[in-house]
């Protein structure tokens, strides 16, 4: 009788699923017939992706509420909970839109015509998606996450109370050091004091780790990355003179923070254009600086004057309205700006001064990078020290403290690899859901630069590992193939259906034309392969160039340029850590098949990275490839050290000593770069 009731209930619950998917399919087809013929390139890609994501979302909703009812954090799933979550999503979208307009300069939440239907739909979809994801997660896990957050906050508060006097004394010493720099070296006190505070926190963390077994490598990473990253922001909170293409990235973050109806004030326009001066400003936001001039210093008076002008000109009188994001200019790279866009949105909501809003966007980017790397280091069962050292590389952390999506790619690559390696080593308990989670991390991480999608192919290593459930492997590989195909199509479709904005990157010069370059490659592919191989072997892969991926701080300068004799030392140090950070568990990753396949993945990825810049950034028919920077190889470094350059070595150095020295050296390198390239160059 029980089985009959269950079967009847199952058949009855299929009906709403079929109706829901049918209605969605009809709407999608109608939209496609109207939309696709009038659009090109990125618009088609994003439309198709939205349709696939929407179908998956609709199916997931009906799955959790009708096909597989379960106990969730919000109650037992079913029609009642479904309707309640729809109502909560609607209310939440209205509240978020109200907050968006409350922080705007020209629009008002009290004027009904200023409310955007597009934003409401997007906010509703995002909130409903988050609630649905929570429905799939065990209620116990959600409760434990909340309890863990509260517990960590309470532990931090207890620590502050217990060591209040010590902290006060250390802060006083830091202030005295800053005062000494002010009087004897004529350095700006804010920058120098923040630097000494960060160094004090790092010293304390290393000491605490060495003498306290309860401290984990991932916590040690946070205690270094956050203070040093904040020094970058506190020392120079607002300028477009730092990271690569900061002006472009900031403009995209502003657009995403509004989505549509973007309001750009005079201060925003100053920071979205290099060497640009508007009325009300005495100099550009880049201080008319020629990039990478190591003799350049900044005056704190000039910086303060720029900040006063940025704050005073950030108002409704200087604001102008632009359409914002649409399917014509939208692409997958917007996901990389989510943290910084949220920071800008929050800063406007709180009506902070412009400089504080700009700095808050950078802070959220840094926090997101640190949080994702923290979980990657925590999850991976091997090579934790290697992951810490990699995440603390000066170039990666420097970009994380600015407006860039490279940290998004690097951090989610680490997280995806960490989850996958955990499954690969513990093959007997392989779960398709965990494998899907690792591929989801890759997919989200590679959204800004889809050319990294071959890295998702590491999942094929399960085929010859000989462990785990075959059904789990097959499902995980199928999901990886679908995700990789979507990313591949996001590259190909804009090339097959180019619009007026898809001819190439104009920063590469007037001779750049994506269509003509693609024709050149297809007309003589062997010649292009020769160009690609010569470029990689002669220009890109030599250590003298590759080291720029580790210690280059963009327009502030690089360690290689400052101390040419030190070229290769960071690479050597990273290699030594990778070799010594080995044990019996990491030896499970060693396999000639894994090594060969990893080299194939690395080669394909490098080929795609270089080819994309050859098509979009290089003059037609050029014998070299322009615009390929060392930092583009960073996502491939962990793959290389996990599966290729990995040896069965017994490290006899005590674990605490090895970890402390390795991460301590990274902290010294980071601190030196911050001091030499930034703090010591801000003068009073």
pLDDT > 80? residue 430? no
Asked whether residue 596 carries a pLDDT value surpassing 90, the answer given is: yes
Q: What is the mean pLDDT of residues 351-359?
A: 95
Residue 9's pLDDT is what?
41
Mean pLDDT over all residues of the chain? 85
Name the nearest CA neighbour of 412 among 449, 382, 360: 449
pLDDT tens for residues 431-484? Answer: 888 888 999 999 999 988 989 999 999 999 988 876 556 778 888 888 889 888
Helix (H, G, I), strand (E, B) or coil at 621: coil
Strand-strand pairing, 71-72 and 75-76? antiparallel
- Phi and psi of 675, rounded to 5°? -70, -50
* Higher-scoring residue by pLDDT: 291, 418: 418
Of 38 and 18, the structure prediction assigns the larger pLDDT to 18
β pairing state of 298-299 and 260-264: unpaired
**Can you tell me the distance from the alpha carbon of 572 to that of 579, in angstroms, rounded to the nearest whole number?**
11
Residues in the chain: 684
pLDDT value of residue 2? 42
Q: How many other C-beta atoms can be found within 10 angstroms of the C-beta atom of residue 561?
A: 13
**pLDDT tens digits, one per residue of 124-162:** 989 988 888 887 776 666 677 777 777 777 877 777 777
Give pTM, 2 decimals.
0.92
Tell me the average pLDDT across 251-280.
90
Minimal CA–CA distance to 419: which of 402, 443, 436?
A: 436
* Distance separating alpha carbons of residues 634 and 395, to the nearest angstrom: 10
pLDDT at 648: 87
What's the number of CA atoms in the CB half-sphere (13 Å) around residue 195?
27
Q: Residue 664's pLDDT is what?
A: 93
- Residue closest to 403 by CA, chosen among 362, 434, 438, 439: 362
Q: What's CA 494's distance to the chain center, in Å? A: 23
Residue range 502-528, pLDDT digits in tens: 555 555 556 777 778 888 888 888 999
pLDDT of residue 584: 84
**Per-residue 3-state assignment (H helix, E strand, C coil) for 336-379:** HHHHHHHHHHHHHHCCCCHHHHHHHHHHHHHHHHHHHHHHHHHH
- How far apart (Å, rounded) are the C-alpha atoms in residues 329 and 41? 9
pLDDT bracket for residue 68 (50, 70, 90): confident
Are the C-beta atoms of 455 and 413 separated by less than 8 Å? yes
pLDDT at residue number 1 = 38
SS (H, E, C) 435-503: HHHHHHHHHHHHCCCHHHHHHHHHHHHHHCCCCCCHHHHHHHHHHHHHHHHHHHHHHHHHHHCCCCCCC
pLDDT value of position 509: 55
**pLDDT at residue 164 above 90?**
no
**Confidence class of residue 77 from pLDDT cuts 50, 70 and 90?**
confident
pLDDT band at residue 288 using 50, 70 and 90 as cut-offs: low
Strands 75-76 and 320-324: unpaired
Domain ranges of the chain: 13-142, 498-651
Comparing 465 with 370, the larger pLDDT belongs to 370
**Percentage of the chain modeled with pLDDT above 70:** 90
pLDDT band at 6 (very low <50, low <70, confident <90, very high): very low
Tell me what the mean pLDDT of segment 567-595 comes to. 90
**How large is the angle between the packed helices 655-677 and 384-391, nearest 10 degrees?**
10
CA 25 vs. chain centroid, Å, equals: 33
Q: What local confidence, expressed as pLDDT, does residue 3 receive?
A: 43
């Amino acid at each position: 009788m029980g089985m009959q009731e269950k079967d009847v209930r199952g058949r009855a619950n299929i009906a709403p699923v079929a109706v829901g998917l049918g209605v969605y399919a009809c709407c999608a087809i109608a939209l496609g017939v109207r939309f696709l013929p009038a659009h090109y390139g990125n618009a088609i890609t994003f439309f198709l992706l939205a349709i696939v994501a929407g179908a998956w979302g609709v199916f997931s909703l009906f799955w959790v509420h009708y096909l597989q009812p379960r106990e969730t954090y919000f109650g037992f799933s079913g029609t009642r909970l479904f309707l309640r979550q729809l109502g909560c999503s609607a209310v939440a979208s209205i509240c978020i839109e109200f907050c968006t307009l409350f922080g705007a300069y020209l629009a008002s939440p009290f004027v009904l015509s200023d409310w955007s239907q597009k934003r409401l739909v997007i906010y509703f979809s995002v909130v409903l998606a988050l609630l649905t994801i929570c429905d799939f997660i065990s209620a116990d896990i959600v409760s434990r996450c909340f309890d863990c957050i509260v517990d960590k906050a309470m532990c931090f508060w207890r620590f502050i109370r217990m060591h209040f006097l010590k902290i006060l004394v250390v802060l006083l010493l830091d202030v005295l050091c800053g005062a000494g720099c002010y009087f004897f070296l004529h350095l700006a006190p804010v920058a120098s004091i923040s630097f000494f505070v960060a160094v004090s926190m790092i010293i304390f963390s290393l000491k605490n780790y060495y003498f306290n077994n309860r401290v984990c490598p991932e916590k040690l990473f946070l205690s270094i990355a956050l203070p040093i990253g904040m020094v970058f922001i506190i020392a120079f909170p607002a300028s477009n003179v730092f990271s690569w293409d900061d002006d472009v990235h900031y403009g995209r973050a502003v657009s995403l923070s509004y989505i549509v109806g973007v309001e750009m004030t005079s201060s925003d326009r100053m920071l979205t254009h290099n060497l640009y001066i508007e009325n009300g400003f005495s100099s550009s936001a880049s201080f008319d600086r020629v990039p990478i001039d190591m003799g350049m210093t900044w005056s704190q008076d000039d910086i303060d004057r720029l900040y006063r002008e940025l704050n005073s000109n950030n108002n409704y009188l200087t604001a102008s309205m632009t359409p914002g994001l649409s399917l014509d200019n939208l692409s997958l790279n917007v996901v990389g700006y989510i943290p910084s866009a949220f920071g800008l949105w929050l800063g406007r909501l709180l009506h902070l001064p412009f400089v504080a809003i700009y700095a808050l966007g950078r802070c959220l980017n840094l926090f997101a990078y640190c949080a994702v790397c923290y979980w990657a280091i925590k999850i991976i069962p091997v090579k934790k020290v290697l992951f810490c050292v990699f995440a603390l590389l000066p170039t990666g952390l420097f970009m994380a403290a600015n407006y860039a999506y490279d940290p998004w790619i690097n951090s989610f690559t680490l997280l995806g690899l960490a989850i996958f390696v955990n499954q690969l080593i513990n093959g007997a308990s392989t779960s398709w859901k965990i494998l899907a989670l690792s591929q989801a991390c890759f997919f989200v991480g590679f959204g800004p630069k889809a050319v990294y999608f071959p890295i998702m192919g590491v999942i094929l290593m399960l085929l010859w590992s000989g462990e785990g459930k075959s059904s789990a492997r097959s499902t995980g590989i199928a999901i990886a193939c679908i995700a990789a195909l979507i990313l591949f199509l996001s590259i190909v479709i804009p090339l097959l259906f180019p619009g007026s904005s898809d001819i190439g990157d104009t920063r590469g010069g007037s001779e750049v034309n994506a269509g003509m370059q693609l024709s050149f490659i297809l007309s003589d592919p062997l010649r292009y392969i020769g160009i690609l191989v010569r470029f990689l072997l002669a220009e890109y892969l030599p250590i003298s160039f590759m080291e720029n991926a580790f210690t280059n701080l963009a327009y502030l300068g690089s360690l290689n340029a400052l101390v040419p004799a030190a070229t290769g030392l960071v690479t050597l140090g990273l290699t030594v850590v990778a070799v010594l950070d080995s044990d019996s568990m990491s030896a499970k990753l060693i396999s000639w098949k894994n090594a060969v396949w990893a080299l194939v993945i690395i080669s394909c990825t490098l080929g795609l990275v270089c080819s994309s810049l050859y098509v979009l950034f290089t003059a037609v028919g050029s014998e070299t490839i322009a615009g390929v920077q060392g930092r583009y190889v960073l996502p491939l470094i962990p793959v290389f050290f996990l599966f290729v350059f990995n040896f069965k070595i017994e490290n006899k150095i005590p674990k605490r000593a090895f970890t402390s020295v390795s991460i301590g050296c990274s902290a010294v390198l980071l601190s030196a770069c911050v001091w030499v390239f930034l703090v010591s160059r801000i003068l009073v």
